[in-house]
Structure 1
Amino acid sequence: MYESITFEEKNGAAWLTLNRPEKYNAFTEQMNKEITHALKKTADDEGIRCLVITGAGKAFCSGEDLSRIGEVTNHGEILRTRYNPMIQALARLEKPVVAAVNGVAAGAGMSLALACDFRLASEKASFIESFINVGLVPDSGQFHFLPKIVGMAKALELAILGEKISAQEAKKLGLVTKVIALDDWESETGAFAERLAAMPTKAIGLIKRTLRESMSLTLDEILEKEAFAQRVAGLTHDHQEGVTAFLEKREAVFEGK
């Protein structure tokens, strides 16, 4: 079904793997389209309660495949037609999304990781704002996500200096949730995904949506958004299960409904 990614489901989680290891999983038009398609499938499938995005081989994603960049006459149009729909679909996904950064995440590859909800980093992972090194500016949502994660001053520093950041430094900056040793990479990323997949998915979606909207709202508007979200969450099966489990002094078994 896919040529440049793989997509599989296991234990309630979907695993989307960028699969051009010989090119360090660099983006192509085909890959952008396939990722966007897989994101739509994730959104539509109630059986998928968590999404993990990772890379095959040594890299997470090295950004745009530059082998054909000389043919490009309108970089903005590439963003509008290829990257923006992908990032928008990812940001609007009301299920938890984990970037399992197994190697370098550069340029738009770093953008992809930043657009996810959680970033797990292998101890060998690294991040680099490589746009400046080819005379370009950050894109694919970087101006939205990066300053919100690390602050304006640090975002400016990273974007202009274009220096490689180790997984350990990324953790200090708040870019990643956790740094994982190579020997534990598969087991810990799998366990993290399964943990999220077993949580109340509808509540997670409401949290994501409300937090996203809150960035541009007043306190009064946020209070109303919270009331609306709580009303919706209160009608879910998982809320009833959570209350029942609490009263019965047992672990809740959420179904994502």
Structure 2
Amino acid sequence: MNFETVLYEVNQGVALITLNRPSVMNAINQTLGDELYSAFKLADSDPSVRAVVLTGAGRGFCSGQDLNDRIAVDESVSLANSVRERYNILIAKMQNMRVPVVAAINGACAGAGMGFALACDLRFASVNAKFTMAFSNIGLAPDSGTSYTLPRLVGLSKALELAWTGDVFDAKEAHHLGVVNRVFESADLLSKTMEFAQKLAAGPTLAYQLTKQAIVQNFDASLPDALEREARLQDIAGRSYDFREGVRAFTERRAPRFRGN
């Protein structure tokens, strides 16, 4: 597909999705929101895609909502409807992808842009990346899933502090808080992230999907429910080609060749 505000390419099983409005630090307007959803939908429907990397063009990952867009300047626009139609469906799509999604955070990551990053399964950051919830700085409450994802990473009290103050924090602090998994030099960020994603793409992606379901859904489950969910998901995994291939490879003392099914 040809996009105006998103770059999309697939290499070695990894779909690289790049937010491409560098002149405004990849701020989100209607077109970018629509095209990003379409890009994730395209990746999810392509059987050759076994992992996704999300990054930004230029100096920023994503600076959040474009405040020159109609959603911000037209008082007749319902923010509730805009959040539901632009952000909620996109965050839900990202969270429910059948393959791993890794963010390569190359610069400013603010507001809804932070929501995009937190909706990814893993986050790798450049040493130059900067983070802020930002919503309170313009008199808004959190959206883009951040009120759900951030407390699960940093805890309730710290999430409130970051949301209320809108403080900017760097990649080192983000790593300390658990917001990002790894930090790289700027020149190495994309190559290291793609290398990691390509290893995931060569792995048992059905098992990865089931693993995510178990960990996310069991986060606030009772122990009996968690154990039963593990049994159900393990039954699915046990019927897969990848499980049989994994056992064969182990007994034959060779590397497995997983297919993701």
Equivalent residue for 2:82?
Answer: 78
Deviation readout 1:71-104 (Å, 9 max, x if unpaired): 1432111101111000011111121000100001
* Equivalent AA in structure 2 for residue 57 of structure 1: G
Where structure 2 has 5 or more consecutive residues not aligned to the other structure, the ranges are none
CA distance in 2, matches of 1:135, 1:76: 15
2:53 aligned partner: 52
Instruction: Give distance in 1, aligned partners of 2:110 and 2:178.
Output: 17
Q: Is residue 124–residue 189 contact of structure 2 (8 Å, CA) maintained in 1?
A: no
- Give the deviation of 1:211 after TM superposition: 2.2
Pair 1:204-2:205 in alignment: no
Secondary structure class of the residue paired with 2:8: strand
2:66 paired with 1:65 = yes
Residues 62, 108 of structure 2: 8 Å contact kept: yes
3-state SS of paired residue (1:67): coil
Aligned to 1:244: 248
CA–CA distance in structure 2, aligned partners of residues 184 and 51 of structure 1 = 18
SS of residue paired to 2:60: coil
Report how far residue 130 of structure 1 moved. 0.6
Q: State the 4+ residue runs in structure 1 displaced beyond 6 angstroms.
A: none
State how far apart, in whole Å, the 2-side matches of 1:224 and 1:39 are: 31
SS in 1 for 2:4: coil
Residue 41 of structure 1 pairs with residue 46 of structure 2: no
Give the Cα–Cα distance (whole angstroms) in 1 for the partners of residues 32 and 129 of structure 2.
Answer: 22
Residues 18, 54 of structure 2: 8 Å contact kept: yes
CA distance in 2, matches of 1:43, 1:183: 29
Distance 1:6 1:220 in 2: 45
Work out the CA distance in 2 between the residues paired with 1:183 and 1:34.
27
Aligned to 2:149: 145
Question: Does residue 1:135 correspond to 2:143, yes or no?
Answer: no
Asked if 1:122 corresponds to 2:123, the answer is: no
* Offset, 1:219: 1.3
The runs of 5 or more residues in structure 1 that have no matched partner are none
Amino acid at match of 1:71: D
User: Structure 1 CA distance, aligned partners of 2:53 and 2:86?
Assistant: 21
> What pairs up with 1:229-240 in 2 under 5 angstroms?
229-240=233-244
The offset of 1:7, in angstroms, is: 0.9
Instruction: State the distance in 2 between where 1:230 and 1:87 align.
Output: 27
1:210 Cα deviation (Å)? Answer: 2.2
Q: 1:36, 1:108 → 2: CA distance? A: 14
Which residue does 1:219 correspond to in 2?
223
Q: Is 2:104–2:189's contact at 8 Å kept on the other side of the alignment?
A: no
The 3-state SS of whatever aligns with 1:60 is: strand
How far residue 159 of structure 1 moved from its aligned partner, in angstroms, is 0.4
Specify the code of the residue in structure 2 equivalent to 1:85. I
Normalising by the residue count of structure 2, what TM-score does the alignment of the two structures yield?
A: 0.96
Aligned length: 257
In the TM superposition, residue 143 of structure 1 has moved relative to its aligned partner by 0.9
1:101 aligned partner:
105
The Cα of 1:204 is off from its aligned counterpart by: 0.7
Counterpart-to-counterpart distance in 2, 1:26 and 1:119: 19
Quick one: distance in 2 between partners of 1:216 and 1:184?
A: 36
Inter-partner Cα distance in structure 1 for 2:179 and 2:42: 27
Q: Which sits farther off after the overlay, 87-96 or 211-220?
A: 211-220
Q: What amino acid is aligned across from residue 134 of structure 1 in structure 2?
A: I
Larger mean Cα displacement after TM superposition, 174-183 or 66-75? 66-75
Native 8 Å contact 2:27 2:65 kept in 1 = yes
